[in-house]
């Protein structure tokens, strides 16, 4: 697919727009998933509960006060009655009995008055707490309304921003050749459709590309569209598996030029973690196919192939299958070439079972 300079400029603008769009989309997602009232609401409920508790306490106190007051009135009435009796009495034993009772009553009166005073002080402090809590509740309610309003505003403005960016994207797309625009929209369904390669990293998937991938991108003609291997691998599992297969074939093609043959195989040399992982993964193939057939679940093969591709990519990235040019070929290189072949065979057979092509080059 050949692009004009103007088209390339448009695509670069689109890549920047996509970056901006992702940011806004993520922000919008986060906004719609958070309930702004949640924290504020919790505090509001806490204060409300404390307020009701204080009010209940206040009611209990009022009842208590009433009781103490009534007792006090009774004691005072009896004191008045006894005083009257003392004035009227002439019987000395009766008088001493009355005076004794008076003393007891006075003492009781003093106690009740002290109790009442204490109760009134407590009541005042509860009333103060109630006043504070009421004010706090009111301000929390206002805060809650404010926070909710802000959240709604931000949600609305983010949505508008999103719509604006999407409109701009449409406008950009309409100026591109139809085939490019179609490809763009197809890719957009799976993820970020276009990215800028900057300092070896892709702006669409944010991954650093390895030297091989960078070299192959550099080899692409400037007016040609090329794909970020990391982007595609992440977005499209079929591609991910096909790409792994194509890589095994690329290694196979390069082997003779570096004098690596299959004259030796020493499995003891496959001691790297990624090598053991790939070996173990490949060994699962017969069992996975049998089970997929037994349970009539072809997706088991698909999922397995993705795992094989993952293991293969890790092996490819962490182990040197072929030596550097002009370096001596060792047994480990020949052994790794066998492992590379085995991965290629499993990937090709697996893709074949699923009716998907296993390309030699991508």
How many residues of this chain bind Zn ion (CB under 5 A)?
Answer: 6
Smallest separation, CB 165 to Zn ion (Å)? 20
Least distance in angstroms from the C-beta of 265 to Zn ion: 36
**CA pair distance 341, 346, nearest whole angstrom:** 9
- CA triplet 311, 345, 263: central angle to 5 degrees? 95
* Region of residue 191 (left: phi > 0; alpha: psi -120 to 50; beta: else): left
Torsion of CA 154, 160, 161, 162, to 10 degrees: 110
Evaluate whether 322 touches 331 at the Cβ level (below 8 Å). Answer: no
Closer CB to Zn ion, 36 or 229, in the complex: 229
Segment near Zn ion (CB under 5 A); pick from 42-50, 164-172, 222-230, 269-277 = 222-230
Q: How far is CA 41 from CA 131, 140, 154, in A?
A: 20, 8, 19
Strand, helix or coil for residue 2: strand
Nearest distance in Å: CB 43, Zn ion: 44
Q: Using CA atoms, how far apart are residues 40 and 150, in angstroms rounded to an integer?
A: 13
Residue where the block lists tokens 């603008």: 13
The nearest distance, CB 230 to Zn ion, in angstroms, is 4
Question: Would you say 96 or 208 has its CB closer to Zn ion?
Answer: 208
- Residue 277 Cβ, how far from Zn ion at the closest point, in Å? 24
**List of residues 6+ apart from 171 with CB closer than 8 A:** none
231 binds Zn ion (CB under 5 A): yes
Give the span between the Cα atoms of 18 and 166, in whole angstroms.
9
Q: Which is nearer to Zn ion, 228 or 255 (CB)?
A: 228
Quick check: 48 and 140 in contact, CB under 8 A? no
Among 18, 82, 230, 275, binds Zn ion (CB under 5 A): 230
The CA distance from 361 to 243, in Å, is 8
Question: x/- string (CB under 5 A) for Zn ion, residues 179-218?
Answer: -----------------------x-xx-------------
**Least CB distance from residue 19 to Zn ion, whole Å?**
12
Strand partners, 224: 2
Q: Please give the helix or strand (H or E) that residue 202 lies within, else none.
A: strand 201-202
Nearer to Zn ion, 37 or 207 (CB): 207
Place of tokens 């570096």: 258
- Which range, of 53-61, 132-140, 166-174, 223-231, touches Zn ion by CB under 5 A? 223-231
d(CA 109, CA 115): 10
For the CB of residue 205, give the shortest distance to Zn ion in the complex, in Å: 3
Q: Alpha-carbon distance 301 to 154, whole Å?
A: 46
Closest separation in Å from C-beta 195 to Zn ion = 5
x/- track of binding to Zn ion for residues 87-116 (CB under 5 A): ------------------------------
**Piece of 2-10, 153-161, 224-232, 240-248 that binds Zn ion (CB under 5 A):** 224-232
Rank residues 202 and 358 by Cβ distance to Zn ion and give the closer one: 202
Residue number, 15 or 173, with CB nearest to Zn ion: 15
Taking the complex as a whole, the smallest distance from the CB of residue 191 to Zn ion amounts, in Å, to 9
Q: Return the number of the residue (192 or 346) whose C-beta is nearest Zn ion.
A: 192
Q: Give the residue, chosen from 75, 194, 228, 346, that forms a contact with Zn ion under the rule CB under 5 A.
A: 228
Selection from 284, 226, 204, 151 nearest residue 20 by Cα: 204
Interface residue list for Zn ion (CB under 5 A): 202, 204-205, 228, 230-231
């Amino acid at each position: 697919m050949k692009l004009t300079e103007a088209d390339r400029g448009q695509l670069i603008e689109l890549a920047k727009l996509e970056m901006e769009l992702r940011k806004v989309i993520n922000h919008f997602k986060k906004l719609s998933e958070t309930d702004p009232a949640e924290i504020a609401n919790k505090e509001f409920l806490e204060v409300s509960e404390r307020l009701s508790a204080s009010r209940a306490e206040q009611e209990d106190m009022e009842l208590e006060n009433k009781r103490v007051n009534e007792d006090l009135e009774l004691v005072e009435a009896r004191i008045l009655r006894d005083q009257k009796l003392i004035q009227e009495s002439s019987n000395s034993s009766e008088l001493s009995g009355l005076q004794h009772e008076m003393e007891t009553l006075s003492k009781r009166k003093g106690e009740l008055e002290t109790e009442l005073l204490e109760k009134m002080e407590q009541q005042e402090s509860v009333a103060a707490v109630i006043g504070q809590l009421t004010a706090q509740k009111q301000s929390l309610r206002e805060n809650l309304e404010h926070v909710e309003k802000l959240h709604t505003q931000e949600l609305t403005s983010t949505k508008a921003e999103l719509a604006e960016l999407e409109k701009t994207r449409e406008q950009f797309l309409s100026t591109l050749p139809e085939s490019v625009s179609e490809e763009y929209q197809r890719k957009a369904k799976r993820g970020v459709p276009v990215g800028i390669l900057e300092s070896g990293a892709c702006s669409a998937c944010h991954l650093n590309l390895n030297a091989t991938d960078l070299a192959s991108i550099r080899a692409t003609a400037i007016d040609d569209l090329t794909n970020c291997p990391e982007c595609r691998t992440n977005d499209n599992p079929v591609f991910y598996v096909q790409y792994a297969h194509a890589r095994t074939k690329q290694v196979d093609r390069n082997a003779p030029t570096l004098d690596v043959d299959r004259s030796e195989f020493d499995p003891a040399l496959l001691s790297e973690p990624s090598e053991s992982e790939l070996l173990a993964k490949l060994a699962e193939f017969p069992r996975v196919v049998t089970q997929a057939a037994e349970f009539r679940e072809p997706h088991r093969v698909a999922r397995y192939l993705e795992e094989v591709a993952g293991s293969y990519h890790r092996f490819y990235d962490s182990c040197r299958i072929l030596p550097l040019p002009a370096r001596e070929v060792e047994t480990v290189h020949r052994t790794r070439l066998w492992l590379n072949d085995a991965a290629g065979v499993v990937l090709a057979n697996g893709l074949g079972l699923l009716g998907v092509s296993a390309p030699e080059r991508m």
